[in-house]
Amino acid sequence: SFFILIVILGFLLLTGRRAGIILVTFGGLGALFHNNFKKISILNIIKNVIIILLIGLMIQIKPIKNMIFKTSPRIHSILYDDISNLDIDRSLLIRKAMVEKGINLLNSNILFGVGLNNFNKSETEVSGDFDGSEYVISKDIFKKTSSHNSYINILAEGGLFLGIPFVLILLFIIKNFISNFSKLNDFDIIIFVSFSCMLIHFYYINAITNSLSWLNFSLALTTIFRIKNKL
């Protein structure tokens, strides 16, 4: 399992997936050490702290830092540079602009949105009401550019007609996972970790139509119904 996790992280490093590598790291470790979450004790808390400290110390080793820099300067920047540098990070600024575009598209048709798969085909005025907007607002990014955000994409393309049912599904899954946490077996906890990381990643990527996303939804719902029906 560790080997597979390292291979996946290596691939994410090579492709410069910043949000992906962070979430897969924590999600993968959460899945591998899931027993530490279910059986909360002082010993398990100490184990978790030690694991986090070891990871933190390992990525500070100079050869590893150099390897990360040579492979992906973008990931090196988010791991080691001053966090204030993110204020001028073009990728994050484009995401902020797409959030503003999505809200404007939603306001133009709050009930049904602009239609499925029409986000990157629609144009709307974006004022750039966020810090660093001057770096991206004049760029040709407001057409043929992904929303980079699954939640914004659903609201902009489907309006409240699609957004409200989607939010209700999320709330149903989260509520039942939390309320039935003591009843979860090992596989259930891993599904919960995967689902939680996916929800965070949804804010940084438009993957709502990805089949693997809905595999996560189906696994989560199957787990909940199995527990509710005591199967």
Long-range contacts of 14-21 (CB under 8 A, 24+ apart): 14/71, 14/72, 15/72, 16/72, 16/74, 16/75, 17/75, 18/74, 18/75, 18/78, 18/91, 19/201, 19/204, 19/205, 20/201, 21/75
Residue with tokens 């709307």: 124
Model's pTM, two decimal places?
A: 0.79
Please give the pLDDT value at position 224. 93
Please give the pLDDT value at position 196. 92
Q: How far is CA 190 from the centre of its chain?
A: 16
Please give the pLDDT value at position 12. 87
Please give the pLDDT value at position 212. 87
Please give the pLDDT value at position 83. 57
Please give the pLDDT value at position 37. 66
Q: What gap in Å lies between CA 72 and CA 22, rounded to an integer? A: 14
Determine the angle formed by the axes of helices 18-32 and 186-201, rounding to 10 degrees. Answer: 170
Q: What gap in Å lies between CA 126 and CA 123, rounded to an integer? A: 9
Low-confidence ranges of the chain (pLDDT < 70): 36-40, 81-89, 134, 138, 141-142, 231
Long-range contacts of 210-214 (CB under 8 A, 24+ apart): 213/150
- The helix/strand/coil state of 116 is coil
Average pLDDT score over the chain: 84
Please give the pLDDT value at position 86. 57
Please give the pLDDT value at position 88. 63
pLDDT in tens, 99-120: 888 998 999 899 999 998 888 8
Please give the pLDDT value at position 219. 95
